[in-house]
Amino acid sequence: MSSSSAGTPGIGGAPPSTDTGVTARERLRVLLRDPARLWQYFGIPIVVAVAITLTVSYVSGQELIGREERSLDTDLLTALALQHVRLGLTVVFWVLVIAIPLGVLLTRPWAKPYAPAFIGVANAGQAIPSFGLMVLFAIWLGTGETAAVAATVAYCILPVLRNTMVGLNQVDPSIIEAARGMGMTKRGVLLQIELPLSVPVMLAGVRTALILAIGTITLGALIGAGTVGRTINSGIISFSDPVLVTGAVAAASLALLVDWAAGIIEDFVRPKGL
Amino acid sequence: MPASEADPPAMIRLEELTKYYPGSDEPAVDAVTMDIPEGEIVVLVGPSGCGKTTTLKMINRIVEPTSGRISLEGEDVTDVDPDRLRRRIGYVIQQVGLFPHRTIAQNIATVPRLLGWDKERITERVDELLELVGMDPATYGPRYPKELSGGQRQRVGVARAMAADPPVMLMDEPFGAIDPITRDRLQNEFLRLQQEIEKTIVFVTHDIDEAIKMGDRIAIFGNDHRIQQYASPEMLLSNPINEFVDAFTGTGASLKRLNLTRVRDVALSDWPTAASDSPREELQRRLAETEHSFLLLLDRQQRPLRWISERDLARSDWTHHGGLKVRAVVEPHVTLHNALDEMLTSNVGVATVVDERGAYQGVVDIDTVMTAVNAMRAETRERVRVAPWHGVTASDVADATESRA
């Protein structure tokens, strides 16, 4: 899904800007000259708004029984959506905290031999079906948010870890040699040269992880972690189409909006000059 | 290029410097000992894998030596903190290695920032350096490396290396990845710059022509990872110490030596001239007086105009626009090599020398070149006899000369 985001042209798509007035507004203006980007910035919210409007009009045209009405209560839906986003972001937070330092460590020259082992474990995390992973963590940690977040973290580590390593490894060695040759410390080179130059690749991984997290955390409903997955689940259990549709549209809209926001952030934190 | 008897003090001294890479029985650099005098360009040259780059990288400890000592300005730096050491040494590499996410100004400011200079001083220094390498600070300072051409990036690389005014610069094939025309220009610019800044420079190249052009001294590395000969370019070309050096400097050694002499340093030959508005009879008389078959016509400002021969003068439709146009005009600062090149393309077999205003000075002909070559040869022999240095003794040279005879 969002792996395509790695291939989208960056600012390079627009004519090279020689101005250094790094104001966000100017940057936005340059970005918006690109039609693809215009669609990316404004198309997604429009699609989501249309989908939600259609769903609301469909649901309000249905006769709802009591249980359905309780499931479709606006306050409840809002609370579930907010919980969903909160858990998704919590997952990404832990993924970043674990995967980026690990990626940095595994690309240091002395750690190269250990890298395959760690990549293997991360691969296994993603290879196990996410539902199975949820259940395993629920057995270990008990049902609830903690288990759902932990399972999703395990599931989302790989893209960030892999992209951090790829990002760091693709930095031109001559740039690092020049930096070291001028007397920058190893730490300085990592923080000021290697990491900034890896940001575009790393961001693509983070975005992938974010989408995965928002999608996968939906399954947390099955181990008692709420989220809009609960609405979908209620719809399935009670054979209620309005509830099912509402839950599904909510889950899809959340994923699209989060990806949309991540895309915009990506455009602005990517270092200039790359 | 002074290879004086009283050598300037050594800025860098390498003693028995040796490097074994892990897992290799053969040294990459084998017991290299050399003094690099202050303010000179010393070129390390040799075939691939001879250890020249490893030697360079041991000076700023990008590569840690296995054994041996390195001194900088009389201080033993073999064991000091490499990060601090490197801030005292400029470093330029072939790929330049500019930081793509930083502007040109920020790139140049790298070392001053590491040294904790204040902002104002850094800005001032960056502007000064950009001007020094011929780039407008206001235009180029805010740009990113990808917006520059290869030659411009290389200039920025040199400016960045000089930022904190280090006494020593290490340059690893700095012009290696640049097209020949731009390379030639950058080399000339750099030599001009060096006259101003007088840094001690260690320069690595695999191109002997570049070595001869850039070097005050040249160290030729052999396949045994040792220095074969360390001497001035003249010495290398006239007295190669062994077969390897002889072969490496190439068959065109005599031709290459012409790069070491400039037209202003040699005695020019005379050529019969006449004012271009002289009457035909006078021109004929002038031509008859000389042994040359052409007369050089000059305009009122003494600028060479045309070559005329007896045949031109004898033509019934003679005008002052007859004869051959003067090509092959050179100024005194060009090398004899350039002059010879021009000479061969000229229609009368000489290169005409003019001063900066274009006024005729004399000509370079084949005799001029031969005289210069002979003088150089004699001079180097003399120098070898008087001041044997860096392992090249008079007897070595005698041996080399004998074995070639």
A4 found inside a domain: no
pLDDT, position B136: 93
CB atoms within 10 A of CB B383: 19
Q: What is the CATH number of the domain that holds A129?
A: 1.10.3720.10
Under a CB-based contact definition with an 8 Å cutoff, are residues B357 and B335 in contact? no
Share the mean pLDDT of chain A. Answer: 83
pLDDT, position B350: 87
- How far is the CA of B48 from the CAs of A28, B225, B275, B385, B402, in angstroms? 50, 10, 57, 33, 30
**How many whole angstroms separate alpha carbon A114 and alpha carbon A119?**
9
Structure pTM?
A: 0.71
**How many whole angstroms separate alpha carbon B398 and alpha carbon B159?**
44
* 3-class DSSP state of B38: coil
Residue A184 has its nearest CB partner, among B114, B147, B170, at B114
Under a CB-based contact definition with an 8 Å cutoff, are residues B142 and B126 in contact? no
pLDDT per residue, tens digit, chain B (405 aa), is: 444 445 567 899 999 999 999 988 899 999 999 999 999 999 999 998 899 999 999 999 999 999 999 999 989 999 999 999 999 999 999 889 999 999 999 999 999 999 999 999 999 999 999 998 889 999 999 999 999 998 899 999 999 999 999 999 999 999 988 888 888 888 888 888 898 889 999 999 998 889 988 999 999 999 999 999 999 988 888 888 888 998 888 766 667 778 778 888 888 888 888 888 888 888 888 888 888 888 888 888 888 888 888 888 888 777 777 788 888 888 888 888 888 888 888 878 888 998 888 889 888 888 888 888 777 777 666 655 554 444 444 444 444 444 443
pLDDT, position B383: 57
Amino acid (1-letter code) at residue B315: R
Cα–chain center distance at B185: 11
Read off the pLDDT band of A15 (50, 70, 90).
very low
CB proximity list for A130: less than 8 A, separation 6 or greater: A151, A152, A155, A216, A219
Short-list B91, B17, B84, B83, CA closest to B54:
B17
Per residue in B191-220, pLDDT tens?
888 988 899 999 999 988 899 889 999 999
Short-list B146, B113, B151, B112, CA closest to B133:
B151
pLDDT, position B103: 94
pLDDT, position B8: 64
A204 found inside a domain: yes
Helices marked H in A61-184 — which ranges?
66-71, 74-106, 115-127, 130-141, 145-169, 173-181
pLDDT, position A7: 37
End-to-end Cα separation, chain B, in angstroms: 28
Read off the pLDDT band of A127 (50, 70, 90).
confident
Short-list A66, A175, A192, A7, CA closest to B146:
A175
**How many whole angstroms separate alpha carbon B191 and alpha carbon B291?**
42
Read off the pLDDT band of A18 (50, 70, 90).
very low
CB proximity list for A119: less than 8 A, separation 6 or greater: A106, A158, A161, A162, A165
pLDDT, position A14: 38
**How many whole angstroms separate alpha carbon B399 and alpha carbon B134?**
48
Under a CB-based contact definition with an 8 Å cutoff, are residues B7 and B37 in contact? yes
Conformational region of residue A150, where left means phi above 0, alpha means psi within -120 to 50, and beta covers everything else: alpha
Q: Which domain holds residue A121?
A: 16-269
pLDDT, position B164: 92
A172 found inside a domain: yes
Summarize the confidence of residues A207-233 as an average pLDDT. Answer: 86
Summarize the confidence of residues A87-99 as an average pLDDT. Answer: 93
**How many whole angstroms separate alpha carbon B284 and alpha carbon B321?**
15
> Would the CB atoms of A178 and B97 count as touching at under 8 Å?
yes
Helices marked H in B198-317 — which ranges?
208-214, 233-238, 243-249, 253-257, 280-289, 310-314
Cα–chain center distance at A109: 29
Give the β-pairing of B41-45 and B29-37. unpaired
The two tokens of residue A206 are 């983070």
CB proximity list for B136: less than 8 A, separation 6 or greater: B130
Residue B101 has its nearest CB partner, among A181, A182, A274, at A274
Q: Is B348 on the interface with A (CB under 8 A)?
A: no
Summarize the confidence of residues A102-119 as an average pLDDT. Answer: 88
CB proximity list for B252: less than 8 A, separation 6 or greater: none
ipTM of the complex: 0.73
Residue-wise over B45-58: b if at least 16 C-beta within 10 A, else e? bbeeebbbbbbbbb
Give the H or E element holding residue B219: strand B217-221
Read off the pLDDT band of A39 (50, 70, 90).
confident
Per residue in A160-196, pLDDT tens?
999 999 999 999 999 999 999 999 999 999 999 999 9
Instruction: Give A201-265 as a 3 state SS string.
Output: HHHHHHHHHHHHHHHHHHHHHHHCCCCCHHHHHHHHHCCCHHHHHHHHHHHHHHHHHHHHHHHHH
* 3-class DSSP state of B169: strand
Using CA coordinates, name the residue in chain B closest to A270.
Answer: B101
> Would the CB atoms of A181 and B60 count as touching at under 8 Å?
yes
A9 found inside a domain: no
A27 found inside a domain: yes
A11 found inside a domain: no
User: How many structural domains does chain A have?
Assistant: 1
Residue B143 has its nearest CB partner, among A18, A181, A274, at A18
A94 found inside a domain: yes
Q: Give the best-scoring range by mean pLDDT among A19-33, A113-127, B67-81, B310-324.
A: B67-81
Does residue B248 or residue A35 have the better pLDDT?
B248
**How many whole angstroms separate alpha carbon A36 and alpha carbon A29?**
14
Shortest CA gap B164–chain A (Å): 10
CA–CA–CA angle B189, B192, B193 (5° rounding): 85
pLDDT, position A3: 39
Residues in B touching A110 (Cβ below 8 Å): none
| Long-range CB contact pairs, B378-381, < 8 A, 24+ | B379/B234, B380/B234, B380/B235, B380/B238, B380/B239, B381/B238, B381/B239
Under a CB-based contact definition with an 8 Å cutoff, are residues A80 and A251 in contact? no
In the beta sheet, which residues pair with residue B308?
B295
The two tokens of residue A71 are 């499931």
Q: Is A203 on the interface with B (CB under 8 A)?
A: no
Best mutation target among B101, B107, B154, B158 (most A Cβ atoms within 10 Å) is B101
Residues in A touching B62 (Cβ below 8 Å): 177, 180-181
A99 found inside a domain: yes
